[in-house]
Structure 1
Amino acid sequence: MKKVLLKQVASAVALLVLALSAWALTDKQRDEVSSRIAPAGKVCLQGDSGCGAAMAASGGGAKSGKEVYEGSCQGCHATGAGNAPKMGDTAAWAPRIAQGNDTLYTHAIEGLNNVGMMPAKGLCMTCSDDEIKAAVDYMVENSQ
């Protein structure tokens, strides 16, 4: 019985010492722990003023239609992946162009999943709507 009580007291003392040692960290040690458990990065969305420096560092002005196409669109529109009309294929583009630019813009910005797969903004989530429209214009100009 004494051994059991002695073990319980020893365990309680050990827990108390452990708790006190964790509580008694120096400011330097707390800072080191905070830096080790801090997030590795920060998500910045377009229009988020809290990320001004990060957004400014990502690039200057608006990207051209060609730049957006080469960076985000050509993966599908150069190969035909997911039933994407290949840029320059006039037969594939003709019925789409006939729907009008507003329809093409809507499909490019919002996505279209009933025929193949056109993800919203071609997965270019850093592109503005105007940049996506410029990419559509670029593909249409080169597919008529």
Structure 2
Amino acid sequence: MKSESFKHSDSQAFEMLHNAMFQNTYYNGKTIIERLNDRNMLKILKNISNELQGYAYFEVDTEMAEASLEYICILKNAQSQGLGTMLLKEVLTEMFLFPQIDEIKLTVDKANSQANRVYMKVGFEPKDILISYRLKL
């Protein structure tokens, strides 16, 4: 399996997966699709039945010489098969195709040990620990 660029025919499946996996986040599936351009990219993984298995959305800022992995997701039933690591490596390679990029950032929940293991496996190192606040009315 190899990632491919998002096609608009994948919109419904992508939006359903993203909105289910990342509820209450800063970009919903529709917003990600609207943001796509030559610097904001969405790569998807499909199985042999052409069903969406995962995706990665990233943004490249050549002026700041950095890229950010905003979202990466692998369906639960497709996890523990190396797909997350494979997709992450493909996306990192694509980000570094921009000659200006010398740093890639991401933010992940400290408690998400599975994701943290994947990031560490490909060479990411922890930089800061963020604290999040929420005020409910």
Q: Could you state the TM-score of these two structures normalised by the residue count of structure 2?
A: 0.25
Q: Could you state the TM-score of these two structures normalised by the residue count of structure 1?
A: 0.24
Higher relative contact order (CA 8 A, sep 6+): 1
Task: Please tell me whether Structure 1 or Structure 2 has the larger radius of gyration of its CA atoms.
Answer: 1
Q: Which protein is richer in strand relative to its size?
A: 2
